[in-house]
Structure 1
Amino acid sequence: MKDGPHIAAIAALIGDPARANILSALMDGRALTLSELARSAGIGLPTASAHVSKLEGAGLLVSVRQGRNRYVRLSGEDVVHTLETLMLLAARTGHRRVRTGPRDPALREARVCYDHLAGARGVQMFESMVRRHLLERSGDYIGLTNAGRTFTKQFGIDLNQLPEKGRTTCVSCLDWSERRDHLAGHLGSAYLARLFALKWARRDEGSRAVLFSTTGLHEFERLFPA
């Protein structure tokens, strides 16, 4: 490709198995130390540091030092969307891991995608809101209807507190495991934060899985019927 962005360089960086594992470990939006990333990728600390430096140099990661630790995170939500799309492509074309991990079913059920809800529950929430005309969708445009604004406020989200700059308020994100859209953007982030605040769900320690309590799942099903 002689014109446009140089995709081969980015693809080569992501294509390395260790670097792909490092990027995947950061897909829940948290910042991790080099030691934590090394353990996640199954590599030594010096190797992890070298990989992180390459990814940071390419603009895929950013890092900050606090005391003696260096914390690393993804540089933006566009990196997450790219990784989700690659996961979708790998699943569709049959490029799956030979051995699945013990958390795989939980990740497919519900997981954090940067800072919003993904997996079957994320798709359920998005499609329920569209079907009940809480969200309107026209081509690439997604927005809250008047009924959706009322519903969101009643759920305990102050729309006036959502940032006005940067990310779009309502964005769809193609889910790699469901192959259907879930809700991203500022609104998707606010809804997941509210689920956590209500203690209907919590993050699984050590993975991106979102675990619902029995009560939380009942309330989720009531608000977002399939």
Structure 2
Amino acid sequence: MNDRANGAVLASRAAALADTSRATMLLGMLDGRAWTATELAAHAGISRSTATEHLHVLRSADLVEDRHQGRHRYVRIRDEHTAHLVETLAALGMPAAPQASWRAVDADRALAFARTCYDHLAGRVGVRVAEEFTERGLIDPSEPTRLTSAGEKWCEEFGIDLVALRRSARHEIVPCLDWTQRRDHLAGGLGAALLDRCVDLGWIVRRDGTRAVRLTSEGRTGLEAVLGIRDLA
């Protein structure tokens, strides 16, 4: 494709994002779950019929995909590249939040501390993990999409199956700009595997109805033991 054709595709996807309701729906789907149209309508504060129209636009732009289970139809964000795009755009020029209720402030703090971004860990906890991976030489700063030999050893000791991870078509590591911290957390196959392992160990607990996750006391102790992370307030 030439630049003009590529430009037309880019413009189409940008137009699909340029609506508050559609953007709100995509931000909700960053939790990696499959949503119903009714759930997305409630999340965006619009009617189900309007949500259905918006989903048609998002499908046409290849930003979401349908998942069917029996008679039920679900929608989810298309892939981690789309999730990365949405998270990165959300990070650019984020205005100061207006005065809000204590409940809203607490919810924002929880999201900023630890949350899921598609299928990996974000927020302050995710950024600290990424920082320690770099500082400890587990990722090569000159090639930040691959583990070093030290990183491979660390992952094996932590219980991550590198053979299965590399069998996937996904990139091993994708630096993802965190919209609350303005620094990178780890996405890609490694980011997903780290989150899954932390959940399996009981270090991270998912919460219903929100992307925010809870770091348990075992998780705090564990992250200090394996990565020396002590400053998680």
Normalised by the length of structure 2, the TM-score is: 0.89
Structure 1 residue runs of 4 or more that deviate by more than 6 Å after TM superposition: none
Go from structure 1 to structure 2 and tell me whether the alpha carbon gap of 1:28 and 1:167 turns closer, same or farther (over 3 Å shift): same
RMSD: 1.8
Q: Secondary structure at the match of 1:178?
A: coil
CA contact (8 A) 1:90 1:96 kept: no
Alpha carbons 1:85, 1:176 under 8 Å: kept? yes
Amino acid at match of 1:103: A
Cα gap change, 1:64/1:113 in structure 2, threshold over 3 Å: closer, same or farther? Answer: same
Task: Assess if the C-alpha contact under 8 Å between 1:65 and 1:71 holds in 2.
Answer: yes
Q: Deviations over 1:63-92 (max 9, x none)?
A: 12323321000111111111111111131x
Aligned counterpart, 1:83: 86
Give the superposition deviation at 1:96.
4.4
Aligned mate of 1:121, from 94, 109, 125: 125
**Correspondence 1:18 to 2:21:** yes
Spell out, residue by residue over 1:161-197, the C-alpha distance to the aligned partner (whole angstroms, 9 max, x if none).
Answer: 1143422112211111111111111011101000000
Q: Distance in 2 between matches of 1:114 and 1:20?
A: 15
Secondary structure in 2 matching 1:176 = coil
**Number of the residue aligned with 2:149:** 146
Note if contact 1:137-1:143 (Cα within 8 Å) is conserved in structure 2. no
Distance 1:83 1:90 in 2: 13
Shift of 1:145: 1.5
Equivalent residue runs for 1:1-226 within 5 Å: 3=4, 4-6=6-8, 7-91=10-94, 94=95, 96=97, 99=100, 101=104, 102-138=106-142, 141-226=144-229
Is the helix fraction higher in 1 or 2?
2
Whether the 8 Å CA contact 2:112–2:123 is kept in 1: the answer is: yes
Once residues 132 and 11 of structure 1 are traced to their aligned partners in structure 2, the CA distance between those partners, rounded to angstroms, is 38
Write the distance in 2 (CA, Å) between the matches of 1:186 and 1:145.
Answer: 15
Q: How many residues align?
A: 222
- 1:123/1:115 Cα in 2 relative to 1: closer, same or farther (>3 Å)? same
Q: CA deviation at 1:31?
A: 0.5
Q: 2:145 touches 2:171 (CA, 8 Å); kept in 1?
A: no
Q: Kindly tell me: are residues 49 and 163 of structure 1, through their superposed partners in 2, closer, same or farther at Cα, counting changes over 3 Å?
A: farther
Relative to 1, partners in 2 of residues 1:142 and 1:150: Cα closer, same or farther, differing over 3 Å? Answer: same
Contact 2:198 2:204 in 1 (8 A): yes
- How much has 1:38 moved relative to structure 2? 1.1
Identity in percent: 41
SS at match of 1:162: helix
CA contact (8 A) 2:35 2:76 kept: yes
Matched to 1:5, the amino acid is G
Give the TM-score of the pair, scaled to structure 1: 0.91
Deviations 1:126-157 (A, max 9, x none): 1101101111121x543212121111111111
* Gap runs ≥5 in structure 2: none
Name structure 1 gaps, 5 residues minimum. none
